[in-house]
Amino acid sequence: MVNSSSISRRGFTTGLLATTSVVALAPTGAMALTAQQASSLVAEVVAEITSIINSGQSESRMLNRFERVFKRYANTTVIAFRCLGADARRASNSQKRAFVQAFEGYIARKYGRRFREFIGGRIDVQNVRQVKSWFEVNARTQLQGSAPFSVDFLVKEGGGRNLFFDMLIEGISLTRVEREEIGAMLDSRGGDLDRLISDLRSAG
């Protein structure tokens, strides 16, 4: 199965932290989807991204569409809370809802802009393997004038839907990186979660 999309090695890896294991971050539970379903989900994600970056729309329209893709195919609630870390335990229910909503926009803008650098490249879905209670779908990214690199999606059933809960760029976990980023942002605001939520709405 072959699909196209546009992500650049530099755009995704600049500023990323050291490679870390995502096993400790992964959701637990019984296996509820097949390898074919996991692979098909990633193929749909790649096709959506390709459609967006080749649409010729304005950046704001494209970023709005990227946000819808993240909401549709990613378990944004799980990703958001894992990025917030221990601070999620002290958040009120209203703060949790507001954080997830702000995080969805933040992550879509941040990575949507980097996906735009993918124009002219391609992602090929290569293989899929089961890892405990989830599947790792491996894709290979090829850009013009650049060596290929891997983009892996970790896919699991959640709330009756098949969703990816992390994405690894050359083995580096998006969730782990953003947990460091969000933690630093919260620290710089003196632990003020409401201020972080407000700032996330325009960050990325």
Which of 11 and 172 is assigned the larger pLDDT?
172
What pLDDT, on the 0 to 100 scale, is given for residue 57?
Answer: 85
pLDDT digits (tens, 9 = 90+) for 57-97: 888 898 999 999 999 999 999 999 999 999 999 999 999 99
Distance CA(185)–CA(98), nearest Å, equals: 16
What is the span of the domain harbouring residue 161?
2-200
What pLDDT, on the 0 to 100 scale, is given for residue 32?
Answer: 67
Q: Which of 1-5, 14-18, 32-36, 192-196 is most confident?
A: 192-196
Length in residues, the chain: 204
What average pLDDT does this structure show over 181-203? 95
CATH code where residue 82 lies: 3.10.450.710
What pLDDT, on the 0 to 100 scale, is given for residue 28?
Answer: 44
Task: Work out the pLDDT band at 102, boundaries 50, 70, 90.
Answer: very high
Residue 55, φ and ψ in degrees, nearest 5: -75, -25
Asked whether the predicted pLDDT for residue 12 surpasses 60, the reply is: no
What average pLDDT does this structure show over 164-192? 94
Task: Work out the pLDDT band at 148, boundaries 50, 70, 90.
Answer: confident
Mean pLDDT of the chain: 83
The beta strands (E) that lie in 39-177 are given as: 122-131, 134-142, 149-158, 161-169, 172-173
What average pLDDT does this structure show over 120-129? 84
Measured from the Cβ of residue 198, the count of other Cβ atoms closer than 10 Å reads 14
Number of domains within the chain? 1
What pLDDT, on the 0 to 100 scale, is given for residue 53?
Answer: 80
Q: Which of 43-52, 112-121, 154-163, 181-190 is most confident?
A: 181-190
Instruction: Return the percentage of the chain with pLDDT > 90, whole number.
Output: 55
Distance CA(185)–CA(183), nearest Å, equals: 5
